[in-house]
Structure 1
Amino acid sequence: MNLKYLKIFLILISLVLIEIYIQYKQNLLGLSQKIFSRVTYESQKCEPFHFASKNYRVKIDDIIYPQAIPLNLNKSINFECLNSQEKIKKILFWTPFFGDPKFAFGLGVKEPFKQNLCPVYNCETFNDRSRVNEADIVIVHMRDTIPDIPKNRPKNQRWIFTVFESPMHCSNFTRYNNIFNFTSTYRIDAEFPRLTGSYQLFEWEENLDFDENKDFSKGKTHFAAGVVGNCGGSSARLEYINELQKYVNVTLLGKCKGGKKCTDYFPNSSDKDCKELVSKSHKFYLSFENSICDGYISEKFFFILKYDIIPVVLGGGNHSFFIPKSGFINVLDYKSPKNLADYLIYLDSNKTAYNSYFKWKKYVKFKDQLVFSNFCDMCIQLNLENYVPIWKNVISDIGKLWSKRDNCKIGKIDSKNNFLLENFTGIE
């Protein structure tokens, strides 16, 4: 073959390979049903995916919800197939979780996953570090004392950086650069997110019991309420509430100055009933975080969603990733507490506008919470890797990933009573 024809041949081969690569990329999250079925039925005896199953989706405010579907709620996965696999996947708790050696989840084969309502339970959790080489995944909680991490580790073992507090409440983690493979945090970009409450408190599904004509303001004789336990924090939330109280009535519950115990405010009640009682008597709930850091949304936002009250949020998280913008009010959209108060007063006087904030609930059903959904998802992913391999990443700069300077802002009420966000300039 002369050089001219050899070049033509090589060009044709290259074009074919490019087309194959494009097709591969398009089907990366799932091979074609025909190919996948042949592989799985011949080698695994069951099909790990329901190709015909569809997850519920709805368009609200020009955005499709849910924007992401956690593995433990994904109807396309055949959980029964994954549970039938012979090999038990193993998860090691390298540290306790705030002193709890069971990581508030449990230890053992399958049972902890069943007790936490995980759809896939073909896994074991243990905390015996002498068995480290057996583990598929090793969990390290960064807020506990961390024993030395071995330099030599099994090739396919993954180490998970785990923390559920914002960087403002963590030390600098630079010394752990190039150690971890994945993260399990509150952030939606974590490989194994623990989105406190979020998808675990409600599921996107048409709610046929939703009453579109309901007046959600009926019987509410109080304006706004907030529960604040941590009296400090870098978000200036107490300062904001104090300024807001100049224009509207705010019931402050909690341990901070001016706050009341919920049981004192609502006689014959318990702390467990507090949010429900607040929602029945108040029109707005102040869900203000103690720090304003990228992605940080605590349980106070998610836990209030099941109740008929409008959340008013202050924080650094993307709340509209979870529910539509028409379902909550963001403090950062208003120049000052006075501007926010003016809008809340408008809603208070306009039933149609007020009730519009609940329309999104026509498309969700509330349910019991899966507290540690990140572990459920780990078990699912580990059992799926026979079909969809887990890539192995190395996080080179975990210090930057979780630094105060790169992730957080400081809230401030200025001399003109406007609310500002400033860069963090303190010590990491």
Structure 2
Amino acid sequence: MSDAKKEYPIVWWTKWFNEDQYEGVMTDDCGLPYNCRHTLNRSKYNEAKVIVFHETDWNPKDLPPLQDVHESKKAWVQNTGKLCVSEWPQPLMYQQKYNSLFTYLFNYHFGSDFIMSYFTSGRSSPRALINLVSRPPLHTLQEKNQFRKHGFHEQDSKPLAPVAWIVSNCKAKNGRHFMANQLKKYIDVDIYGHCMPNRKWPKKKDGVADMADEELVSHYKFYLAIENSNCEDYVTEKFEKPLAVGTVPVVDGPDDYSRFTPSKKSIIKYDDHGSPERLAQYLKVLDNDDKSYQEYLAFRTNRTVDNTDKNGHVIIDSPATFNQDYKERLLPWFIDNWDIDETGFPNKTTTQWLSKDGGERTSRAKYGMQWGPDGKGARCALCRVARDLTEGDAVIDPSKRLTIDTTCKFRKFYHVSWVIAFHHYWALFTLVVTLTLLFVLLTRAGRGCVKTLILRVLKVLKSVTRRKQHDYFELQQESEC
């Protein structure tokens, strides 16, 4: 019996950020001879082989029968996205007691079973990563130099800093805000958002509507694409913003950005400089050297009459803005990860390009990546597993269980100055000293303690003085003899 058009259920035991995000979602565009339907309807539990849980909606008091997991009747899938897996303090879900109940991982990590990065693969969508990095910068370097002197436009004449940062989370576990505060001492940084803002959000030329995020970023030479967690493969939309508009990203996140880097000279890594001061010095050099700065944009498509309008603005959704010769401009490893067509297969690049990339790189095949590392690709791979488990073409391996992600670095930027590293203790020390002074100055007992202490110090000094005088007298007598 053919399984063409057959539909397999995938049950979400939890909501997704407290929303019915996946209710009724169909997986029917994967090039597979069957479909899958995502549902929160628990009445489908007995029929489904795959049960999905979302990290922040997990409740250990509301679980399906654990016996089904122990007997390998059901495969639990852990879905994460906003936080890296071992963010501290760990959500209850990631305590190993519960982590070991899961068979599959569905998140941003390229080693997960169902890879769902923050980007779009392929080339059919204008928002596909290959297309974003290919189109010309929305503003020329000459325009950016003018913005540095005169601001966004006539209504906002305050000069722009060379660096911009949009940030809303002031409590990032890696302490990125400490690094940014240090960086500001050595180079101007315009900060927008709810955390540490030093510049008002700009308006469009009409003076009414706010600028969109990407429009704002496009006016700057550099943008701080600093993740809130330092975990392997954890690269988010913070990185996409500058890439989409032709601003050079200053990045900090995972140690290895090679999966996401379109060219060898396309990003500036904080770790390559090691301190806010040295990073600022390098950015200043590029800010004052147009030729060196342009090297970070050399992989992008040039402006032509076909990809700009009559006012010289880039037509961002036009295929003419995409890099038609991208295979010659972009790194082979980048293409291998992101150039995947709608049928779920690479655009004839894997064999051709991996041979040029060296043995140190790992191909898509290691992870079984038939589809792109995005939301659609993850759902397609999940659908295939659901079907294979249901039809008996695959079995649940009882020895395959998730473990805690150990790739993350905690409190990375707490070392940038000793005051920052010990700021909690410094505050406590200041409080103790202040209270002591108040006690001494405002109470009789305090003044008595100070008086007693002074008298004891004077007594000790007097005793030391007498001893020294005695020693000197004896030494003088010996010399006379």
Match of 2:222 in 1: 284
1:171 pairs with one of 75, 78, 91: 91
CA contact (8 A) 2:77 2:105 kept: yes
Any conservation in 1 of the 2:225–2:238 contact (CA below 8 Å)? yes
Whether contact under 8 Å (1:122, 1:379) holds in the other structure is yes
Aligned mate of 2:23, from 106, 123, 127: 106
Contact in 1 for aligned 2:191/2:198 (Cα 8 Å): yes
In the alignment, which of 224, 241, 255 is matched to residue 194 of structure 2? Answer: 255
Give 1:161 deviation, angstroms: 1.0
Match of 2:78 among 135, 154, 161: 161
- Tell which deviates more after alignment, 246-255 or 294-303: 294-303
- TM-score by length of structure 2 reads 0.58
Find the residue that maps to 1:133 and give its secondary structure.
coil
Distance 1:85 1:419, change over 3 A: farther
Number of residues of Structure 1 aligned to a counterpart in Structure 2: 325
> Within 5 Å, which residues of 2 pair with 1:185-264?
185-197=107-119, 199=121, 201-202=127-128, 204=130, 216-220=140-144, 221-222=147-148, 223-260=162-199, 262-263=201-202
The one of 270, 289, 301 aligned to 2:210: 270
- What displacement does 1:397 show? 6.3
- Would the aligned equivalents of 2:265 and 2:295 in 1 still touch at CA under 8 Å? yes
Q: Tell me how far apart the structure 2 counterparts of residues 304 and 391 of structure 1 sit (CA, whole Å).
A: 44
Spell out, residue by residue over 1:318-352, the C-alpha distance to the aligned partner (whole angstroms, 9 max, x if none): 32212244211111111211111111112222223
Secondary structure at the aligned position of 1:125 is classed as strand
SS of 2:142 mapped into structure 1? coil
Once the two structures are superposed, residues 90-118 of structure 1 have per-residue CA deviations (whole angstroms, 9 ceiling, x without a partner) of 21101111211x2x23315x3xx46xx76
| Counterpart position of 1:356 | 295
Task: Label 1:303 to 1:106 Cα distance change in 2 as closer, same or farther (>3 A).
Answer: farther
Distance 2:291 2:392 in 1: 49
Residue correspondence of structure 1 range 7-18 to structure 2 within 5 A = none
Deviates more, 1:196-205 or 1:383-392: 383-392
Q: Are the aligned partners of 2:178 and 2:420 in contact in 1 as well (CA < 8 Å)?
A: no
Q: Secondary structure at the match of 1:296?
A: coil
2:64 aligns with 149
Question: 1:417 and 1:344, CA in 2 relative to 1: closer, same or farther beyond 3 A?
Answer: farther
Alpha-carbon separation, structure 1, partners of 2:114 and 2:42: 22
Give the aligned partner of residue 280 of structure 2.
341
The secondary structure found in structure 1 opposite 2:413 is: strand
Larger proportion of helix: 2
User: Does the aligned pair in 2 maintain the 1:158–1:181 contact within 8 Å?
Assistant: yes
Aligned position for 1:409 = 410
Residue matched to 2:234:
296
Moved over 6 A (4+): 364-367, 384-388, 417-420
Task: Please list the CA deviations of residues 28-64 of structure 1 after superposition, one character each: whole Å capped at 9, or x if unmatched.
Answer: xxxxxxxxxxxxxxx86xxxxxxxxxxxxxxxxxxxx
Deviation at 1:199, TM superposition (A): 2.9
Contact map agreement 2:231 2:254 (CA 8 A) in 1: yes
Percentage of identical aligned residues: 23
Partner of 1:6: none
Corresponding residue for 1:377? 381
Out of 358-367 and 226-235, give the one that drifted further: 358-367
Shift of 1:414: 4.0
Helix, strand or coil for the counterpart of 2:87?
A: helix
User: What SS does structure 1 have at the residue aligned with 2:280?
Assistant: helix
Contact 1:285 1:310 (C-alpha < 8 Å) held by counterparts:
yes
| Unaligned ranges ≥5, structure 1 | 1-42, 45-83, 421-428
Larger Cα Rg: Structure 1 or Structure 2? 2
Kept in 2, the 8 Å contact 1:182–1:395? The answer is no
- For 1:382 and 1:276, locate their aligned partners in 2 and report how far apart those are by CA, in whole Å: 42
Supply the distance in 2 between the matched residues of 1:155 and 1:330 (Cα, whole angstroms).
Answer: 44
Letter paired with 1:332 = D
Q: 1:397 to 1:230 in 2, by over 3 A?
A: same
Q: How far apart in 2 are the matches of 1:418 and 1:319?
A: 31
Asked whether the 8 Å contact 2:117–2:375 carries over to 1, the reply is: no
Distance 1:237 1:269, change over 3 A: farther
- Look up the match of 1:85: 4
Q: Offset of 1:163 from its aligned partner? A: 1.3
User: Larger % of strand: which?
Assistant: 1
| 1:294–1:317 CA contact under 8 A, matched in 2 | yes
Aligned pair in 2 of structure 1 residues 151, 236: CA closer, same or farther (>3 Å)? closer
8 Å CA contact 1:336, 1:419 repeated in 2: no
What amino acid is the match of 1:270? D
Q: Residue in 2 aligned with 1:123?
A: 36
Paired with 1:283 and 1:294, the residues of 2 have a C-alpha distance of 27
Alpha carbons of 1:198 and 1:329: their partners in 2 closer, same or farther (altered >3 Å)?
Answer: farther
C-alpha change, 1:211 and 1:309, in structure 2 (3 Å) is closer
| 1:75 matched residue in structure 2 | none
* Structure 2 gap segments, 5+ residues each: 149-161, 301-322, 331-337, 342-372, 422-481
Tell me how far apart the structure 1 counterparts of residues 246 and 392 of structure 2 sit (CA, whole Å).
41
CA contact (8 A) 1:177 1:395 kept: no
Please give the TM-score of this superposition, normalised by the length of structure 1: 0.64
Match of residue 137, structure 1, among 39, 42, 50 = 50
